Structure 1
């Protein structure tokens, strides 16, 4: 039977189609075989070894903690908290899989269905879609670049298959969730939880987890701290997918959709302000471990106590600002021209404020309008704030018509504002004066608090450990302590009258020391002289016991003798000390006569929790640490308590404790203000001064500048510490209400110094009982 002319073309077409299909099939088989051969013979042998993931060692930064586990510092290129998959919240895993790889537990590393769907969408000209599984992303993140070319994609596929053959699904997911970059220098979901929400993963709710799960696709675009609107949009996509997969209920879905999230817009923050402490610890660890310090997950636990550190930080800030405002407004930090257009004006303000260094709660702002009764400003967030009433008090001189141009507030002035009680705004300024505070345990020497300056962001110089300053009268207790060993006692009478010294006396030139208040009280006891901080009496005592003896004696307390003069000015504190040195020195009086070496690091732990080094605090002090006679420490302590009861440190009495002791210090021309003291087993030192060594002011002393810092701190630090009783040690005898060494109760006692025994009324001079000193000069 022959084909009709009308069916022949159809037959030919069918034959050609079959031939084409066979040819295409053969070609596909050949291409597939060639591709398989290429993959097996070329790609597979050149794939990298999987050591990086089978022996995963994530880069964990150096972290610094207080003694009670508050994080105070982190150092390293990558912020990462490794969270084992067994500890990963189930909802966090579901949030991630819902958006990144729904069939993760079903495929072998390649989700062919998703890959083909992505290919069709991309070839069809629609929005670009990714077909990478989590396993493929692990391959890319650990071994490959993000450059888009087909050779890399083939490597990625083969690596994914190799990874799936080597690791379990849970191991792969653990790698991904700890290695992936999530913005703000944060790697892994554990770190991102802290960075964006200040919480651990286990503390996050569904809405927060969904927000984090949306980050891997594009950490910059979906960063909730930088792009909250886009981050919210991405979060909704995640939540929708979670609901479709029945990972969450409808109620959970609706609640998460409408929840207001509180995102940290400044990124990582720490549990307390201890930047100077963290930097000291970092330096110590880097010196020991070099670059490994920043990648091996080392944790450093300091001796700092969080509550004490908080109290010290707030006290320094508050009292430095109080001092600064006592001395008036210095004017705006800068001036800018405000464009007429609103958009251009906002841009100019934003640019100006971004250039200002940040300082906790001292917010930069630009003046929009200024008048004697109200000042309108714009803050970095673009909010307009009107300041009135008491909020203008500091800047009142700058609102006067007579104010000089450099001082006057006007539109375009860049100033600082702060929010106080009842959220009221006030004009403020960044202080120029420096300050420092440090406290240590009197027995162990461990630091409890350290504030090296007003603001670490403004100045990295640590005044506690690096500032060598004149101690002024804060050095006097050590001279008086030396005098006790020479037969003096708190009852010894010394003549407080003008003293004129010749060049022969000083070894240099004539000198006439004077008391700070310009007053002289005649014969007074050594107890009263220390309480009143009498300069002339202190010089007379030093001259009596000799400079070489006292100079050598300072070394017992940890002072560097080379930093102190070998002349009579030593009695007035013309040498150099650091606040840290002063804390260690006063600890000798506080603990009964033992030297302590203040230390900061309690222990260092590696990433596996192994202790690398440890310093255990001492509960008692060894005999070989004793540097002064226990009697000396006891008697000096009694005189230092007098300072806080009736003397220049009398403001301490408001704390209502009888175990407080200390000494004010004001160097020449009020360049330095100090208070060093102790109570309840804590030794604390506060200091204030300018880095360029200018005067604090004619009416400023240690009692006005430094002592308030000390009081505010001790009010908190001693809250749960009982008052310490100090029994008199053996070898002391009480005579007329004062303690004397047994060997000095007879003729060897130094009862008077530089008193004319033939002067009228001298026969009536008797030791003054404690507590009867005249009121101190303020």
Structure 2
């Protein structure tokens, strides 16, 4: 070689040295087409694609590529990759000789030569035959790369930069899109199919399968006839290639499995932070808790829709918040394949709160010293005039409990006492309290009226759970955070005093206070301390369970995203089991820092022994705001007289029911005493339907009298219980001959949707 030729080659190599980037530069400049949502520990939660020009995944280290794929690429593209110094001169000579005789053969470009085109300007040119000048430039670039890069770096960069099929660039995108797995898990057949796409990315299924078959045979060394009895690696390869390559056109994103754990939170963050392609955004979520919460909700939906007793429940959501920091540890906006609207983020959807607002109502009443935990409220029929008749809140069995303490009323979620408490607080002031807690009320309290006590306002699961977190934090409301690296928690706004928050928390954690409604063996009871409240909205559309431990606040919603009513789902059968499972998971470790403990009593509260006159409730120790404590609680003379009169009336009715037909001739005429004409019964959706009853009562009369409901005989008892059924009904009191003595019309507005009405007995 002349000195001039050597000088020219040296100049070309020097120019290539200045033009070619280093391996570290190429890897640092790689950008995924997605942005990644990470959990608090850096684990990938969700991929969201932004760059529509190409589909690229993360950079994959060669150590994380399956040996089968590395072998397939070398066998297919560059058999002497580990022998040459960038240019396969033997292959180039063979290709030139074949071209001279017009014989089709593989190109002479090595993996290194192809890589120079991928990292330089040529990588942006359309595929096709290259000019002699471009080939020369590619050759010089390959020689330089081999001098400055290691073989493993060359192969790693090639696998990450090479285009495959359609818009897919790089091994990560190919592996996730076509095979739904990481590159480390590709087997020989998958590796051969991937390698075949390098040579002809957009070829037909048949041509790709044929090329993959050649690669498989080379990998398995089946060229010799002596191996003909071995299993054929190409069996059914055509159909497999067609099935696999079809996925590339339909795949909407690279996310799969555990890389699709938080789609709803990712969408929320994308709308607020606008992350760029390739950006990694660290959230406050915990991947393991997020996965457990998602799976728990899916299992809950499956159980609620078991074939034997389908409940028409298709959606669920949950949120977990750290009490101290406000970090959101789990955010599941939708769960389960049963959903009719999986894109709806039910954590942020506004829905009626049901009974979950009652703790805030009682906390405000205690703070204002209008009530104490021991105060008696009358759980008796309360008639509120409405446009269509009388609105009568119901309890479990319509046999009202009478005088009950605030502790019993809140723990057992009794409706009438809550309405009476709101009368003291007023809807206007209570609405302002809810807004201060962060609940998204759009109207004033006067708009909602007294129904606000029973949760007629729309709230979101996120805002409701964070409001309960205020109780856990002694009455201070603070915002929550879903992104890591936020500033320290702000001072917040005090909504309730520490004393009122403590007393309400103590009630919500008292299993004895729940017994009248939920029994002793309730799913609301957890292994360690927790305070919880359930709620169900009108017509059984939404079911809630929200509560907190000493460290976490957990909120669960179950229902239908389209607003369809559920069937026979109560507070303890819908969201509560999932809530219980999540709380127990959070405190599953039996160590001191994982155990949830009841809060210490703050200064300003005192415990006193309380006794009730006439044994209205058993004597007990009770918490009071200092200065409001009392030792004996009784009823006023009028209230006691009313209670005694009610008891006497019930005893008289029972005696009349058991009396002989030969009654006194001067008995008063028979009439229907209850319900009155035009009554509207509003069933409580938070109560199991079997526990709710409407009572038919008669006054006066003698002889064989009976009830007829909607034209069908019902009962002959003077006082009969009926399992309510939504709709308008006609109740008749008839004599022995079936003649109508009295009749009333009433309506049941309820929460239970069923396929067929039960038979009237």
Relative to the length of structure 1, the TM-score reads 0.65
Are the aligned partners of 1:304 and 1:448 in contact in 2 as well (CA < 8 Å)?
Answer: yes
SS at match of 1:657: coil
Structure 1 equivalent of residue 281 of structure 2: 300
- Matching residue within 74, 80, 88 for 2:47: 74
Match for 1:176 among 158, 170, 182?
Answer: 158
- Once the two structures are TM-superposed, the CA of residue 578 in structure 1 deviates from its matched residue by 0.8
Residue of structure 2 in register with 1:734 after alignment? 607
Gaps of 5+ in 2: 225-229, 611-620, 648-686, 693-761
Q: In the alignment, which residue of structure 2 is the partner of 1:382?
A: none
Counterpart pick for 1:492 among 368, 375, 379: 375
Give the alignment of 1:674-713 within 5 angstroms.
Answer: 674-679=544-549, 681-697=551-567, 699-713=568-582
Q: Please list, as runs of the form range in 1=range in 2, the aligned pairs for 1:527-546 lying within 5 A after superposition.
A: 527-546=407-426
Question: For the Cα contact (< 8 Å) 1:64–1:278, is it kept in 2?
Answer: no
Alignment-derived partner of residue 398 in structure 1: none
Q: List per-residue Cα deviations over 1:679-715 (Å, max 9, x = no partner).
A: 3522222222234433323x33232222222233334
Distance 2:184 2:266 in 1: 29
Describe the shift of the 1:677–1:207 C-alpha distance in structure 2 as closer, same or farther (beyond 3 A).
same
State the distance in 2 between where 1:596 and 1:649 align. 32
In structure 2, the partner of 1:313 is: 294
Distance 2:318 2:561 in 1: 15
Is 1:668 aligned with 2:538?
yes
CA distance in 2, matches of 1:473, 1:147: 66
Provide Cα deviations, 1:124-181, integer angstroms capped at 9, x if missing partner.
5665422222233224435343443453x64243244246447724365453232113
Equivalent runs, 1:392-541 vs 2, <5 Å: 433-455=314-336, 459-487=341-369, 488-502=371-385, 512-517=391-396, 518-541=398-421
1:280 aligns with 2:261: no
Q: 1:81 offset after TM fit, Å? A: 2.4
Distance 2:161 2:575 in 1: 49
Contact 2:534 2:572 in 1 (8 A): yes
Rounded Cα–Cα distance in structure 2 between residues aligned with 1:600 and 1:489:
37
The answer (yes or no) to whether the contact 1:470–1:576 under 8 Å persists in 2 is yes
Q: Distance in 2 between matches of 1:692 and 1:211?
A: 44
Matches within 5 A, 1:722-761: 722-735=595-608, 736=610, 737-745=621-629, 756-757=638-639, 759=641
Q: Please, which of 497, 504, 514 is the counterpart of residue 636 of structure 1?
A: 504
- 1:703 counterpart SS class: coil
Distance 1:255 1:208, change over 3 A: farther
- Asked if 2 retains the 8 angstrom alpha-carbon contact of 1:73 and 1:278, the reply is yes
Q: What SS does the aligned partner of 2:429 have?
A: helix
1:58 counterpart residue number:
30
Pick from 410, 418, 432 the counterpart of residue 552 of structure 1. 432
Is the Cα–Cα contact under 8 Å of residues 71 and 270 in structure 1 kept in the other structure? no
**CA apart distance, 1:631:** 1.2
- TM-aligned CA deviation for residue 437 of structure 1: 2.0
Matches of 1:705 and 1:87, distance apart in 2: 44
5+ long unaligned stretches in structure 1 = 1-32, 245-253, 330-393, 395-430, 603-613, 766-773
Contact 2:317 2:347 in 1 (8 A): no
Matched-pair contact (CA < 8 Å) for 2:321–2:327 = yes
CA distance in 2, matches of 1:54, 1:622: 42
- Which of these residues, 170, 174, 197, is aligned with residue 188 of structure 1? 170
Name the counterpart of 2:495: 627
Secondary structure, counterpart of 1:155 in structure 2:
helix
Displacement of 1:762: 7.8
Change (3 A) 1:316 1:685: same
* Counterpart in the other structure of 1:24: none
Separation of aligned partners in 1, 2:340 and 2:104: 48
1:42-53 matched pairs, under 5 angstroms = none
Q: What is the CA–CA distance in structure 2 between the aligned matches of 1:90 and 1:160, rounded to whole Å? A: 28
Conserved 8 A contact 2:86-2:113:
yes
Greater shift after overlay, 591-600 or 91-100?
91-100
Match status 1:719 vs 2:588: yes
Is the 1:674–1:687 Cα contact (8 Å) retained in structure 2?
A: yes
CA distance in structure 1 between the aligned counterparts of 2:211 and 2:110, rounded to whole angstroms: 23
Most deviating of 195-204 and 138-147: 195-204
Measured at CA, do residues 432 and 760 of structure 1 come closer, stay the same or move farther in structure 2, by a change above 3 Å?
closer
Deviation at 1:315, TM superposition (A): 2.3
Distance 2:602 2:192 in 1: 67
Contact in 2 for aligned 1:563/1:577 (Cα 8 Å): no
Q: 1:652 Cα deviation (Å)?
A: 4.4
Instruction: Report if the CA contact (8 A) 1:538-1:572 is conserved.
Output: yes
Question: For the structure 1 residues 286 and 219, does the alpha-carbon distance in structure 2 shift closer, same or farther, using more than 3 Å as the test?
Answer: farther
1:54 deviates by 9.2
Counterpart of 2:483 (choices 590, 595, 601) is 601
Q: For 1:126 and 1:434, how far apart are their aligned partners in 2?
A: 63
Map 1:239-254 onto structure 2 (within 5 A): 240=221
Preserved contact between residue 273 and residue 313 of structure 1 (Cα < 8 Å): no
Distance 1:551 1:510, change over 3 A: farther
1:615 maps to 2:615? no
1:740 Cα shift? 0.5
Distance in 2 (alpha carbons) for counterparts of 1:84 and 1:652: 52
Question: SS in structure 2 opposite 1:476?
Answer: helix
Q: Distance in 2 between matches of 1:158 and 1:227?
A: 30
Contact in 1 for aligned 2:331/2:347 (Cα 8 Å) = no
Q: In the alignment, what sits opposite 1:409? A: none
Q: Which of 96, 108, 119 is matched with 1:131 structurally? A: 108
Aligned length: 598
Aligned pair 1:234/2:117, yes or no? Answer: no
1:331-346 aligned within 5 A: none
Deviations 1:503-548 (A, max 9, x none): 7xxxx88753312433311111111111222111111000012222
Q: Name the SS for the 1:436 alignment partner.
A: strand
User: TM-score normalised to the size of structure 2?
Assistant: 0.66
Residue 573 of structure 1: which of 452, 455, 463 is its match? 455
Counterpart contact for 1:274–1:451, Cα < 8 Å: no
- Between 513-522 and 213-222, report the one with greater CA deviation: 213-222
SS of alignment partner, residue 331 of structure 2: strand
Asked if the contact 1:673–1:703 (Cα under 8 Å) also holds between the matched residues in 2, the reply is no
Change (3 A) 1:286 1:173: farther
Shifted more, 511-520 versus 96-105: the winner is 96-105
Query: SS state of the match for residue 73, structure 1?
Result: strand
Shift of 1:210: 7.1
- Report if the CA contact (8 A) 1:301-1:601 is conserved: yes
Could you say what secondary structure the match of 2:569 adopts?
A: coil
